[in-house]
Amino acid sequence: MSLAKHQRPHVGIFGCRNVGKSSLINIISGQDIAIVDSYAGTTTDPVAKTFELTGLGPIVLIDTAGIDDRGDVGVKRVAASYKKISEIDLAVLVLINNTWSDYEEALLVEFEKFNLPFFIIHNKSDIQPISEEFQAFLKSRVRCDILEFSAVTSHRLNNLSLLVDLLKKNMPDSVFNNPTLLGDLVSYGSNVLLITPIDVQAPAGRLILPQVQAIRDCLDNDCITTVIKEREIETYKAMNYPTPDLVVTDSQEFLKVDAAFDKSIPLTSFSILLARFKGPFEKYLEGTRKIESLEDGDSILVLESCSHHVAGDDIGRVKIPRWLRSYTGKELSIEVVAGLNSPPRPLSEYSLVIQCGGCMLTRKQLINRLQPAIDAGVPVSNYGLVIAYCLGIFNRAVSVFGHHDDSVNYL
């Protein structure tokens, strides 16, 4: 089983204080990632660490605070641990001393709520082994794998390899079978042109992740791939390169690129590719069309799922609000939430939720981020789709995927 491209499975380690969650992470990774101490409550906030695991590739292990933490600060730590459940692909529930309490029951409810796969480790079994009675109880209570484990004797008992096997076995299929970014849009030898602006918002010395993913996907699908900046379009055309079979641009350059290439050439953007790859694409398409019915005073929520220094005409905070107001001619209230922070108001109070590409999120994180809005009946969209709509090239940008909306007409 090989790991799908561009995906890093997130594995959360949960349990009460002092059950050995941090030691477990150190054992799995072979590194002293998490601080270990006999004092209960050593781990305060969730700590994430990426490392390579044979047979899975890069995975992210998340060490969480004890779910039985106490006091005002402890309540906040527990809340932070619970929040991770909606963001991960697999959970490991750690127990000791043949003990199952209301804390584990509460976790189980949350795992089931998010349809999250998990397995159980009875840890510190060198001190107190799992009893036959407790094992029978667990099997009657949960349908999952159960592993007796000890960090002290893990190598001698070979249960470290068993633990790694359980991580591989219980990882959801969606992690390994993600759709391709653009592989179904091209074929062997296709000419793909990627237009990647390098401006004040571009990260120093590197490309943004969707651009890197697109390049890799083109190579994996045996395409002939050309990467240029938007300022080199005319130079590219003057050099008589073969007509591109597909053009992918930064969404902010849609107008320029749309004008530069014949309408018969498929055109879309990195953000829209990522929207289809990770997000609820059909919901995005439906929600984008709601721009047409926005009214004065409507509130728009922009979800910017990474944290960065705001420079110049920031796309989520400046450009998209400007394009929306210009297109609709309405006075709109636009709020921005960065990272995975909660919206300042109930979602039902918003007329539209606009999600960034989500390049720093897993598909699971992005879907769970938007699901409350979808459940509340609030339209959702994506940066690239909103930009395409406001600039009048929505149909061209999505027709490459077989979508076309005759109801969308631009003057």
pLDDT digits (tens, 9 = 90+) for 353-403: 999 988 888 888 899 899 999 999 999 999 999 999 999 999 999 999 987
Please check whether residue 79 lies inside any domain of the structure. Answer: yes
**pLDDT for position 2:** 36
Q: How many CB atoms lie within 10 A of CB 197?
A: 16
Name the 3-class secondary structure at 301: strand
Q: Quick one: which of 134, 136, 57 has its CA closest to 99?
A: 134
Sign, CA torsion 271/276/278/282: positive
* Partner residues linked to 389 by β-bridges: none
Compute φ and ψ for 190, nearest 5 degrees: -60, 140
Quick check: 34 pLDDT over 70? no
Angle between helices 363-375 and 270-278 in degrees, nearest 10: 80
The runs of H, that is alpha helices, within 86-158 are 102-113, 132-141, 154-157
Q: Could you say which of 143, 161, 176 is where a domain stops?
A: 176
Quick check: 48 pLDDT over 80? yes
**pLDDT per residue over 101-130, tens digit each?**
999 999 999 999 999 999 999 999 989 999
Whether 164 and 204 map to the same domain: the answer is no
Is residue 351 within 8 A of residue 378, CB to CB? The reply is yes
Quick check: 308 pLDDT over 60? no
Is residue 303 within 8 A of residue 371, CB to CB? The reply is no
**pLDDT for position 254:** 97
Is residue 60 within 8 A of residue 10, CB to CB? The reply is yes
Confidence of residue 411 (pLDDT cuts 50, 70, 90): very low
**pLDDT per residue over 201-235, tens digit each?**
666 778 888 899 999 999 999 999 999 999 999 99
Quick check: 12 pLDDT over 90? yes
With pLDDT > 70 as the criterion, what percentage of the chain qualifies? 88
Domain that holds residue 42: 10-176
Q: Could you say which of 247, 272, 297 is where a domain stops?
A: 272
Q: Which stretches of 74-117 are assigned E, i.e. beta strand?
A: 90-95
Please check whether residue 244 lies inside any domain of the structure. Answer: yes
Whether 166 and 234 map to the same domain: the answer is no
**pLDDT for position 3:** 37
**pLDDT for position 179:** 67
Mean pLDDT for 159-181 is 82
Q: How far apart are CA 213 and CA 357, in angstroms?
A: 13
Name the 3-class secondary structure at 207: coil
CA distance from start to end of the chain: 51
Please check whether residue 299 lies inside any domain of the structure. Answer: yes
Is residue 317 within 8 A of residue 310, CB to CB? The reply is yes
Quick check: 38 pLDDT over 50? no
Task: Give the strand order in the sheet containing 380-382.
Answer: 333-338, 299-304, 352-355, 380-382
**pLDDT for position 6:** 44
Angle between helices 281-288 and 270-278 in degrees, nearest 10: 130
Whether 243 and 296 map to the same domain: the answer is no
Please check whether residue 57 lies inside any domain of the structure. Answer: yes
Q: How far is CA 30 from the centre of its chain?
A: 26
Whether 226 and 326 map to the same domain: the answer is no
The pTM is what?
A: 0.75
Quick check: 405 pLDDT over 80? no
Quick check: 199 pLDDT over 80? no
**pLDDT for position 92:** 97
Please check whether residue 62 lies inside any domain of the structure. Answer: yes
**pLDDT for position 356:** 93
Is residue 94 within 8 A of residue 123, CB to CB? The reply is yes
Mean pLDDT for 313-337 is 94
Please check whether residue 405 lies inside any domain of the structure. Answer: no
* Partner residues linked to 335 by β-bridges: 301
Q: How far apart are CA 91 and CA 11, in angstroms?
A: 6
Q: How many CB atoms lie within 10 A of CB 106?
A: 13
Confidence of residue 7 (pLDDT cuts 50, 70, 90): low
Arithmetic mean of pLDDT over the chain: 87
Mean pLDDT for 319-338 is 96
Q: How far apart are CA 311 and CA 41, in angstroms?
A: 39
Quick check: 249 pLDDT over 60? yes
Is residue 244 within 8 A of residue 191, CB to CB? The reply is yes
The full DSSP string for 238-287 is HTTPPPPSEEEE-GGGHHHHHHHS-TTS-EEEHHHHHHHHHS-HHHHHHH
Q: How far apart are CA 192 and CA 270, in angstroms?
A: 13
The runs of H, that is alpha helices, within 158-208 are 159-170, 173-176
**pLDDT for position 388:** 98
Quick check: 189 pLDDT over 50? yes
Mean pLDDT for 231-256 is 95
Q: Could you say which of 272, 294, 325 is where a domain stops?
A: 272
Whether 52 and 73 map to the same domain: the answer is yes
Please check whether residue 411 lies inside any domain of the structure. Answer: no
**pLDDT for position 272:** 97
